[in-house]
Each structure stands twice: as C-alpha cells, then as structure tokens.
C-alpha cells in the first residue's frame, strides 16, 4: 500500500502553503473517507504536473521562442473586419 499524506505533509512535499491546498481541494486529486482528506504519492505527482510551468523564452527556456517574422505566425493572414455600415471588399 502506498503512503498517504495529510494536508500538512502534502503541503511540505509540494512546497506550498497548507491553506492553498485546502482552498483548491475541489480541483485537486485526493482521496476522502468521511471528513479525512489524504493524498497519495500519485496524487502529489499529478498536482505537481497540473501546476508545472516551463518558461518558453529567456535564458531558462529549453526550446527557444519562435522567430517573429512577417509570415511566421499561423494566423498572420487574418485581418480585422471593416466598421459597421461599410461593405466588404474582396482583396
């Protein structure tokens, strides 16, 4: 059987405040028996994965940010609609 963590132990493992866990419990994986809430090791791994962020630019980025060229963005061809009352002209 895997180890079960209380709120305080899970907060220490995740390096977050215990109040944060209690406030967000409805959106976090956990087990509940009666009023007792526990977290398994896999629950803690899933919580960490849900809230993990890798930088996409800067010195810590694993992959460099894409170059901002004239045609590099996939939605670059889109243009805003004309003002109301003016007819659309095909270009």
**Residue ranges of domains in the chain:** 4-50
Q: In the prediction, which pLDDT does 18 show?
A: 96
Q: In the prediction, which pLDDT does 63 show?
A: 64
- Report the chain's C-alpha Rg in angstroms: 24
- Give exposure, 18-39, as e/b (b: 16+ Cβ within 10 Å): eeebeeeeeebebeeeeeebbb
Residue range 15-70, pLDDT digits in tens: 999 999 999 999 999 999 999 999 999 999 999 999 888 777 777 777 655 665 55
Confidence at 91, pLDDT banded by 50, 70, 90: low
d(CA 55, CA 59): 9
Q: In the prediction, which pLDDT does 76 show?
A: 76
Residue 7 near residue 18 (C-beta atoms within 8 A): yes
């Amino acid at each position: 059987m895997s180890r079960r963590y209380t709120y305080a132990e899970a907060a220490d493992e995740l390096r977050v405040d215990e109040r944060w866990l209690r406030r967000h419990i409805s959106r976090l994986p956990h087990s509940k028996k009666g009023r007792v809430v526990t977290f398994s090791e896999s629950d803690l791994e899933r919580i960490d994965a849900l809230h993990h962020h890798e930088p996409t630019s800067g010195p810590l980025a694993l992959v460099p940010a894409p170059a901002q060229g004239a045609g590099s963005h996939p939605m670059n061809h889109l243009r805003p609609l004309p003002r109301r009352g003016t007819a659309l002209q095909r270009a």
